[in-house]
Amino acid sequence: MKIYADNAATTKLGRAALEAMLPVMEEEYGNPSSLYELGQRAKEILEKARAEIAAVINADPREIIITSGGSEADNQALLSAADRGRKTGRMHIVSTAFEHHAVLHTLAKLEREGFEVTLLPVHEDGLVRPAELSAAIRDDTCLVSVMYANNEIGTIQPIAEIGDICAARGVTFHTDAVQAVGHLPIDVRAQNICMLSASAHKFHGPKGVGFLYVKKGTPLINLIEGGAQESGRRAGTENVAAAVGMAASLKDSAAHMAENAERMRCIRDRLIKGLAAIPHSALNGDAEKRLPGNVNFCFEGIEGESLLLLLDDRGICASSGSACTSGSLDPSHVLLAIGRVHDVAHGSLRLTIGEDATEAEADYIVKNVTEVVEYLRSFSPIWRDLEAGKKPYIL
Ligand SMILES: *Cc1c(COP(=O)(O)O)cnc(C)c1O
What ligand 1 atom has the least distance to the C-alpha of 150? 13
**DSSP-derived secondary structure letter, 121:** -
CA-to-CA distance for 235 and 221, rounded, in angstroms?
12
Q: Per-residue confidence at 102, pLDDT binned at 50, 70, 90? A: very high
Separation CA 214–CA 280 (nearest Å): 45
Point out the ligand 1 atom lying closest to the alpha carbon of residue 149.
13
Q: Given a cut of 90, is residue 323 above it in pLDDT?
A: no
- Using pLDDT thresholds of 50, 70 and 90, give the confidence band for residue 9: very high
**Max alpha carbon distance in the chain (Å)?**
79
DSSP-derived 3-state class of residue 140: coil
- Indicate which residue's Cα is closest to atom 10 of ligand 1: 70
Under the banding of pLDDT at 50, 70 and 90, the label for residue 328 is low
Q: How far is the CA of 129 from the centre of ligand 1 (A)?
A: 24
- Whole-angstrom Cα distance, residue 64 to residue 210? 10
Q: Ligand 1 pocket check: which of 71, 78, 156 to mutate, most ligand atoms within 8 Å of Cβ?
A: 71
Query: CA 101, 105, 110, 116 torsion: positive or negative?
Result: positive
Dihedral, CA of residue 244, residue 3, residue 10 and residue 54, to nearest 10:
40
On whether the CB atoms of residues 57 and 187 are closer than 8 A, the answer is yes
Other CB atoms within 10 A of residue 263 CB: 18
Total residue length of the chain: 395
Q: Is 266 a catalytic residue?
A: no
Of residues 1 and 280, more confidence is placed in 280
What percent of the chain lies above the pLDDT cut of 70? Answer: 98
Which residue, among 224, 381, 392, 199, has the nearest Cα to 301 in the 3D structure?
A: 381
Q: How many CB atoms lie within 10 A of CB 129?
A: 15
C-alpha of residue 199 to centroid of ligand 1, in Å = 6
Residue type, position 328, single letter: S
Q: Which of 159-168, 247-256, 318-327, 358-367 has the lowest mean pLDDT?
A: 318-327
Does position 325 have pLDDT exceeding 90, yes or no? no
Average pLDDT, the chain: 96
User: pLDDT confidence of 330, banded at 50, 70, 90?
Assistant: confident
- Mean pLDDT of the 111-129 span: 97
Mean pLDDT of 252-264: 98
Q: How far is the CA of 325 from the centre of ligand 1 (A)?
A: 16
Contact between residue 275 and residue 354 where contact means Cβ atoms under 8 Å apart: no
Helix (H, G, I), strand (E, B) or coil at 282: strand
Q: What is the pLDDT of residue 196?
A: 98
In tens, the pLDDT along 221-246 reads: 999 999 999 999 999 999 999 999 99
247 in Cβ contact with 52 (< 8 Å): yes
Best of 199, 296, 350, 352 for a ligand 1 pocket test (most atoms within 8 Å of beta carbon): 199
User: In this predicted structure, what is the pLDDT of residue 326?
Assistant: 52
* 255 contact partners, CB below 8 Å, separation of at least 6: none
Contact 45, 39 (CB under 8 A): no
Query: What is the average per-residue pLDDT within 269-294?
Result: 98
pTM value is 0.97
pLDDT of amino acid 189? 98
Q: Which residues line ligand 1 (CB under 6 A)?
A: 69-71, 74, 100, 102, 147, 151, 176, 178-179, 199, 202, 210
Domains by residue range for the chain, with CATH? 15-255 (3.40.640.10), 257-387 (3.90.1150.10)
**For atom 6 of ligand 1, which residue has the closest CA?**
70
| Confidence band, pLDDT 50/70/90 cuts, at residue 329 | low
In this structure, what are the phi and psi dihedrals at residue 95, rounded to the nearest 5 degrees?
-145, -160
165 CA to centre of ligand 1 in angstroms: 26
Q: Is 55 exposed, middle or buried (0-12, 13-18, 19+ CB in 10 A)?
A: middle
179-226 pLDDT tens trace: 999 999 999 999 999 999 999 999 999 999 999 999 999 999 999 999
Question: Per-residue pLDDT averaged across 20-46, rounded?
Answer: 98
Q: What share of the chain is helix, strand, coil (3-state, %, to 5)?
A: 45, 15, 40
Average pLDDT over residues 328-345: 88
96 bridge partner residues: 120
Quote the ligand 1 centre to 206 CA distance (angstroms).
13
Q: Are strands 281-283 and 294-299 parallel, antiparallel or unpaired?
A: antiparallel
Does the pLDDT value for residue 321 go beyond 80?
no
Query: Which residue among the candidates 142, 298, 317, 324 is catalytic per the annotation?
Result: 324
